[in-house]
Amino acid sequence: MLESIHYGSAVLLDPQGEVITALGDQQARFYPRSALKPLFAVAILRSGLELSQEQIALAAASHSGAPRHQHVAHSTLRDAGLELAELGNSTDLPYGVAERASWLADGGSATQLAQNCSGKHAALLAMCKHNGWATENYLAAAHPLAAALREIVEELTEERITTISTDGCGTQVYPMTLAALARGFAKLAKAAPDTAEGRVAASMRAYPELVAGEGRDVTELMRAVPGAVAKDGFEGIQAVGLPDGSSLAVKISDGSDRARMPITVKLLASHLGDQTPTALEDLASSPALGGGEPVGELTAL
């Protein structure tokens, strides 16, 4: 029996950027939300700012708020001579379930450093400091940072930005098509290692546990698929780039997070065929529980 169903759109592109599979509305524009972070990280590195691989991975992350995540974000600020008080992102408890429980058990409260976007904000502040830009209002629409981020996103996605809004953490966000987001991730995944794009991809691959966190599906996907560069976004967004330049992007219409990974895995499996890693199968579905026992499953149709 089918109890519930989620609808959405998805696109899978070949290494030349041509459409292999298109599901749903391909003309609709959507907000990629945190899936923009790896593209923003390219802008950060192109500014000439030197960051470690861990700091780069965390700049591209929606992290779980584990002590290691917070330590790396703090190190980005410290290396640039910046203070925690200069962060402009919203406050929150750690995003990860286990991390939040541990944080609260230790008496922790909502902070900017614990919030899942702190790595990005720390790196953006460091970029401003490196460029000699003001750090006080770095999220303002008229700040030079805003134009620098838009320029990189337009270049990587090959789509002009016509609308600008504000994401939950305070940075700008732009609506775009699925194909545009997929193109951006293709360029990351196939980039030469000495480019900013290649350094972002290498950092995410080296530290998938910083891009999300232990037990998170994005981290597990990157571990399962060699060379994959993956990032999720709020409201049912997923993007993946592969080393050969093929890529995909998914948007779940109702914003459901639980439907995001099953369709992503189905598309990846259809593309990889016999080369599909067995570890990817663990992400293809999740159990529906009744009385604490599996009584059904969530899977892509």
CA distances from 289 to 97, 260, 263, 286, 293 (A): 18, 19, 20, 10, 5
Q: Is residue 2 part of a domain?
A: no
Q: Each residue of 8-32: pLDDT tens digit?
A: 999 999 999 999 999 999 999 999 9
Give the C-alpha separation, 39 to 182, whole Å.
Answer: 11
Q: Which domain holds residue 126?
A: 8-299
Q: Is residue 47 part of a domain?
A: yes
The residues, ordered by sequence, that sit 6+ positions from 118 with a Cβ below 8 Å of its Cβ are 63, 69, 70, 73, 87, 89, 112
Position 286 confidence tier, pLDDT thresholds 50, 70, 90: confident
Q: Is residue 1 part of a domain?
A: no
Mean pLDDT of 130-143: 97
Q: Each residue of 36-75: pLDDT tens digit?
A: 999 999 999 999 999 999 999 999 999 999 999 999 999 9
For residue 244, the model assigns a pLDDT of 97
Position 199 confidence tier, pLDDT thresholds 50, 70, 90: very high
| Total of domains in the chain | 1
Is 174's pLDDT higher than 90? yes
pLDDT above 70: percentage of residues in the chain: 100
For residue 301, the model assigns a pLDDT of 84
Q: Is residue 281 part of a domain?
A: yes
Q: Is residue 278 part of a domain?
A: yes
| Residue-wise burial string across 63-101, b where 16 or more C-beta atoms lie within 10 A, e elsewhere | bbbbebbbebbbbbbeebebeeebbbbbebbbbbeebbe
Q: Is residue 201 part of a domain?
A: yes
For residue 249, the model assigns a pLDDT of 99
Is 238's pLDDT higher than 90? yes
Q: Is residue 121 part of a domain?
A: yes
Q: Each residue of 255-265: pLDDT tens digit?
A: 999 999 999 99
> What is the torsional sign of CA 86, 106, 218, 53?
positive
Contact 219, 209 (CB under 8 A): yes
Which CATH number belongs to the domain containing residue 49 in this structure?
Answer: 3.40.710
Q: Is residue 3 part of a domain?
A: no
Whole-model pTM over 0.85: yes
